Amino acid sequence: MYRDIAKLVLYRNLGENSILMKLSGIFEDFDRGDCPNAELVARIYDQIKRLLDLATDYGFDTNLWHNYLAFILITNENSFSMTSEKVGANDGTVNYFAKNDFKIFKKLFDFDFSEIEEALDIDCFTIVNNYKAIGKKERMYNKNVSTKVRDISRAIEGAKDENDIFKIVTDFYKAYGVGMFGLNKAFRIVHPTNGDMQFVPINNTEDVRLDDLIGYEIQKQKIVENTEAFVAGRKANNALLFGDSGTGKSTTIKAIINEYYDQGLRMIEIYKHQFQDLSQVISQIKNRNYRFIIYMDDLSFEEFETEYKYLKAVIEGGLEIKPDNVLIYATSNRRHLIRETWTDRTDLENNNGMHKSDTMQEKLSLVNRFGVTINYSKPSQKEYFQIVVGLAEKNGIHMTEEELCAEANKWELSHGGISGRTAQQFINYLAGKQE
């Protein structure tokens, strides 16, 4: 094993602490025969434990060793995988080195652990190669990654040689990309202690679709047209969804990423206190072969908050232009995003009222940088009832329309008034009462 791993070229940047490199060191010590068996067993069990933890996190099953190797291939960002991202195989000398590495991975897939198991009187490799995972709820692991890893693992199991693996892997890169951006839909950013900014996948995004949002057809059409232009590589605008609370603004954005993920759309959620990181975020994603929406939920600023100036500079006005593969989508209950007061008008120049307040201009200039603004207003009572009836049908609640509307009317009077959110809460209440 260790002799083959040492010959990796493109996929050798695995890190000394990776499971594969640790196992490589164990097998080298085993062959040399200068390490006590008890120590070798302990080291092997350490890596088996890590493999089991990884399997739990990503929902691996059947053959954990194969799943792990497939996971390496589809997550390792190197010159070959990055070049093949969303493009697939290309002619070039680098293919020689890629096929060399795939030949080694084929050997690793077919590796016989029986020698070391017999010598050390263990059977852990046999067990993980014939693994049956405990069934668990989807929210407990990354289903999106799990499905892709297991699919490509099975495909490589059936490969005859490195040429077959080359096609399997490059086809995957073309379809999904590589690394965490290839496997995941959405991300947030974190700052580890004494560390640089990092992207962290949001493993279990809500599986909501635009059809799940009843009504607001004009609003949905506007955001769809803008998004489809964006993913197609055409010109598109930053979008602001504003209006009453509970009307489906955030749901629309969540649905957008689900609808267009398979077309290369990815989403990065950023909070207001992280706006100073915007430039760094953009610098790390601008050269990737994906389309990114930077999502800002419930965006608004008080008078004393100045983070909006970072946002203004990024959207438009800085020396470095925003790349073509990045858009900003924001939701807000405020049309103008920044709280306005009557004192904003005190710096109005006394020149027959011809000059607008500088303070007002400063605050309004942010919203003006969103090329698409979409209003989500509170539904009428008739529209509210239509939403209730539609949600009831989707959730299998069998009541007459008259009964539904009567109960929905009672519910909204004591639960925040008319809105799509109130309707959903009412339906949740009814669904919870069903046996």
Residue 310: per-residue pLDDT: 67
Cα–Cα distance measured from residue 52 to residue 131, given in angstroms and rounded to the nearest whole number = 10
Instruction: Note whether 233 and 295 are same-domain residues.
Output: yes
Check residues 183 and 155 and name the one with the higher pLDDT.
Answer: 155
Under 8 Å between Cβ of 141 and 56: yes
**Domains identified in the chain, total number:** 3
Q: What is the pLDDT of residue 308?
A: 64
CATH at residue 219 = 3.40.50.300
- The verdict on 372 and 406 lying in the same domain is no
Please say whether the dihedral angle defined by the alpha carbons of residues 138, 141, 145 and 150, taken in this order, is positive or negative: negative
Mean pLDDT for 1-15 is: 92
Summarize the confidence of residues 107-132 as an average pLDDT.
94
Lowest mean pLDDT among 2-11, 97-106, 190-199, 252-261: 190-199
227 and 309: one domain? Answer: yes
Q: Do 389 and 351 belong to one domain?
A: no
| 200 is a domain residue | no
Residue 313 lies in a domain: yes
Quick one: 34 and 81 in the same domain?
A: yes
Considering the domain architecture, whether residues 162 and 240 belong to the same structural domain is answered as no
Same domain assignment for residues 385 and 345 = no
Query: Does a structural domain hold residue 122?
Result: yes
Query: Do residues 237 and 125 share a domain?
Result: no
Q: Is residue 186 part of a domain?
A: no
Is 356 found in the same domain as 263?
yes
Region 8-29: mean pLDDT is 94
Q: What DSSP string runs through 158-217?
A: T--SHHHHHHHHHHHHHHH-SHHHHH-SEEEEE--TT---EEEE--S-----GGGS-S-H
- The verdict on residue 144 lying in a domain is yes
> Considering the domain boundaries, does residue 45 fall inside one?
yes
Indicate if the pLDDT at residue 355 is higher than 60: no
Eight-class DSSP state of 10: T
Same domain? For 18 and 127 the reply is: yes
pLDDT range class, residue 177, cuts 50, 70, 90: confident
pLDDT surpassing 50 at residue 342: no
Tell me, yes or no, whether 370 and 413 share the same domain. Answer: no
Contact 307, 270 (CB under 8 A): no
- Say what the pLDDT of residue 257 is: 92
State how far the Cα of 125 lies from the Cα of 64, in Å rounded to an integer: 9
Q: Are residues 50 and 133 in the same domain?
A: yes
Rounded CA-CA distance 420/399 in Å is 19
Domain extent, residue 359, equals 210-376
At 331, which helix (H) or strand (E)?
strand 326-332
Tell me the average pLDDT across 278-293.
88
